[in-house]
Amino acid sequence: MRSVLSSLFVGLIWSVAPTWSQQSPSQVSRSVIQATRTAIPPEIDGQVDEVVWSQAVVFDKFIQFKPDEGKPASERTEARVLYDNDALYIAVVCYDHKPDRILRRLSRRDRVVESDGVGIAIDSYADRKTSFLFVVNAAGVKSDGLFQNDGGEPDMNWDALWEGVAATRPDGWSVEFRIPYQALRFAQGEVQTWGILVNRHISRTAEDAMSNAIPRSATGFTSQFGTLEGIRNINPKKTRLITPYALGGATRWPLDAEPAWEHALVPEYRAGLDAQIGVTSKTILTMTVNPDFGQVEADQAQLNLTAFETFFPEKRPFFLEGTEIFRTVGALGGDGPRTEMFYTRRIGRRPEGYEDFPDGFDESKGEIRSNPVATPILAAVKLSGKRDSGFAYGLLNALTPATNKRLLTATGREVVYETSPAGRYSVARFQNPLKGAGSYIGGIVTGLNRNGIGETDAFSGALDFRYNTDDYRISTEGVLATTRRLTDEGAEQGHHLQLRYGSFNHPSLLWQVGVQGTSKGFDAGDMGFSQGDNDGFGFVWTQYRNLNPGGKMQQFSISAVTWHSRVFRPSKIFEQGFNLNPQIQWKNQWLTAFALNVNTAGYDPYESRDHGLYRKPLNAQLFGVIRSDARKPFSFTANPLLSADQYGKRGWGLEAVLNLNVGSATQFALEPGVNFTKNETGFADEDTFQGQAYAVFGKRNVDYTNLTLRGIHTFKPNLSLQVYGQYFWARGVYQGLQKLLTDGKLGALPKPYSGNP
């Protein structure tokens, strides 16, 4: 079990998106909001005081989602909808008998902070699976996102051009939206009937009031919406958006680096272009030339002593927008290893030979003239769309040039060393809808062609599916994948299978079982992300929950999962164990949780780095989560950790997030972390004796400290200043070095070890 504790992040509006349903969509009683055509578009100033708004039908039957599920909203809320040939106009008036206690916090766009707010989700596809989210908080900060496959977690990286303005009133506050049809996707037709949900969040009471009554035990999200009626004789619009950019900067390299840099300060200049063009109303062509990644936050430094690479989430705008269709079953890991057929971070990654030097180059006397830290992207094109039938597709192609490290020898001669070959990355993906909530069958193919002698070309393909009954009484998913790598030594090919089956329609008891297996030679790492091969994994997960326990608790749940994994050849137990995870959400908006994780002894095929099976010990970890009330000016999250194993390992750590809101426009987040591990047995290095390579293991003491600071000051909803910095320190010391023996145990070294692990 490689991931044992998942923590829920509860945000402003849509983190409360409901999950787990007792009723099918056809059985749900749906509210109806009536849209009215207008000849004069309202001015979007948030005031809701123009005469044109008096023509709209008022909807005011808002129902609590929490804290008192099913009861009328504690404060009156009115929603009005107008439309014309170009856009949808929505006004929401939020009355409040304590207007001085409305929480208004400024932040940059798409950064969700605790605040009063209004969110609107529109299912213009009318497929009960996909919806577009538009949020404005009481300070006027905008956020937008995309819900897919009837899921309740929005993709907040989706962006559109729309207007939203909030205004203060003596009796509360109000907000006006203008959503142009370019921001929505819908079929041609005389009459449009869409799904809609309007949600008002009242921060001081932690209340969410919705335009359609949705039980907190509901599974799915978009399938639970109310109905928007009255829209007639409008036409879909095509998107056209062009964004040029210019960037200047500099990198300062350490003076004591070896080899040294010819110039410690290296300037950088770049220019490029991004464009979005609507081929049809439902098909978008996105292009980028020398894309701008200047606004991307750097990855946090991490200490990784495992055999697997660290997974970093995508942060680059071009690869975030519209790439959700490329995600296949298994991409999020869940209760098992992560397998992702297309991992966008592969494009523009750090060159494979970034830290290498040509034979004969003296690093102590030579200098580095230039060495790109990331592979440039010459151009990338992405085509994505959805037909009226619900059939969705995506195509992506990107070109990267060869990257070269330029060096100066001790005699002043320049040496050019290739660190990465030129490459062409290609992806094609489709999803065809099936009857049932969030159900589909899909396929994906990927290809990487590298230019250069001895370079590897890589190809992969997969079929995946999800099937849920409308009431989620049956929920199943699976993926069958294959990879093929072409090298000078021949072809390497492998396969991967994953299946899961569960039931999520009971108000208190949920369960799921799953299996997956990977054959020798499966490697999605050229275009995707995978963790290991030649092994299998199975689990049983169950959860008991009480969504209305009474007293001081808002909801309570306890999850348990047990698993068994094996190495296929030779047939050995890899690991088996269990995890127990209770969690309490308190009515005062605090959250407490812990997880106990226990693994039995087994044979690890990865720790030795391909030098045989390692007999790993019985081990256990205890995780904790304490999160305070985010409505307060100061809030925090603390994650303590204890670990131990049969071979004498002892460890403890603490990670925290300290949030400070200074007034309504400035936020600071300090993220300290410490970890101390003693007597952990692990891989140290590789050595040879009499021509035979073997793995060197040892007892290691590992300590690290991390301190990350983020600060944001928002001058107005569309102008902010952000600062970011990280300090990271780590130390590891090995002792008691031993050789890995053929039976998986450790024994004496055949010769003294002279390396530096």
Contact (Cβ atoms closer than 8 angstroms) between residue 130 and residue 136: no
With a cut of 90, say whether residue 202 has pLDDT above it.
yes
Query: 300-315 pLDDT, tens per residue?
Result: 778 888 888 888 877 7
Strand partners, 586: 553
Of the candidates 456, 475, 559, which has an alpha carbon nearest to the alpha carbon of residue 514?
475
The string of DSSP letters for 299-352 reads PPP----SSSPPP-----HHHHTTGGGG--TTTT-SSS---BS--GGGTTPPPT
Region of poorest pLDDT, from 131-145, 445-459, 531-545, 551-565: 445-459
- The owner of tokens 């840099």 is 261
Burial of 756 from C-beta contacts in 10 A (0-12 / 13-18 / 19+): exposed
Average pLDDT of every residue of the chain: 89
Which of 331-345, 607-621, 680-694 has the least mean pLDDT?
Answer: 331-345
3-state secondary structure 611-655: CCCEEECCEEEEEEEEECCCCCCEEEEEEEEEEEECCCCEEEEEE
Gap between the Cα atoms of 426 and 461, Å rounded: 12
Would the pLDDT of 145 be above 70? yes
What are the tens digits of pLDDT across the range 497-517?
999 999 988 889 999 999 999
Residue 441 banded pLDDT, cuts 50, 70, 90: very high
397 or 716, greater pLDDT:
397
The angle subtended at Cα 146 by Cα 143 and Cα 149, nearest 5°, is 155
Mean pLDDT value of segment 541-555: 93
What pTM was estimated for this model as a whole?
0.84
**With 90 as the cut, is the pLDDT of residue 152 above it?**
no
Does residue 706 carry a pLDDT above 50?
yes
pLDDT band at 14 (very low <50, low <70, confident <90, very high): very low
pLDDT score of 33 more than 90? yes
Planar angle of CA 687, 692, 694, nearest 5 degrees: 40
Q: What is the pLDDT of residues 609-637, one digit of tens each?
A: 999 999 999 999 999 999 999 999 999 99
Q: 494: exposed, middle or buried (C-beta count within 10 Å: 0-12, 13-18, 19+)?
A: buried
- Assess whether pLDDT exceeds 50 at residue 131: yes
Architecture of domain 14-234: Sandwich (2.60)
The Cα angle at residue 284 between residues 281 and 290, in degrees rounded to 5: 155
Among 169-173, 183-187, 238-242, 321-325, whose mean pLDDT is lowest?
321-325
Task: Give the tens place of pLDDT for each residue, 736-751.
Answer: 999 999 999 999 999 9
Per-residue pLDDT band for 28 (boundaries 50, 70, 90) equals low
Better pLDDT: 84 or 297: 84
pLDDT (0 to 100) of residue 364: 84
Model pLDDT, residue 45: 96
Q: What local confidence, expressed as pLDDT, does residue 297 receive?
A: 62
Give residue limits of the domains in the chain.
Answer: 14-234, 238-280+282-295+314-459, 558-757
- Please say whether the beta carbons of 732 and 684 come within 8 A: no
pLDDT band, very low/low/confident/very high, at 4 (cuts 50, 70, 90)? very low
- The whole-number average pLDDT for the span 258-282 is 82
Q: Of 136, 127, 135, 158, nearest to 145 (Cα)? A: 158
At residue 108, the pLDDT reads 87
Confidence of residue 16 (pLDDT cuts 50, 70, 90): very low
Residue 327 has pLDDT above 90, yes or no: no
Residue 360 has pLDDT above 70, yes or no: yes
CB 414 within 8 A of CB 346: no
pLDDT band at 293 (very low <50, low <70, confident <90, very high): low
Lowest average pLDDT, out of 98-112, 121-135, 248-262, 703-717, goes to: 248-262
Pairing of strands 403-408, 719-740: unpaired
Tokens of 60: 């005011």
Residue 53 φ then ψ, to 5°? -70, -25
- Amino acid identity of residue 195, one-letter, is G
Split at pLDDT 50, 70, 90, the class of 77 is very high
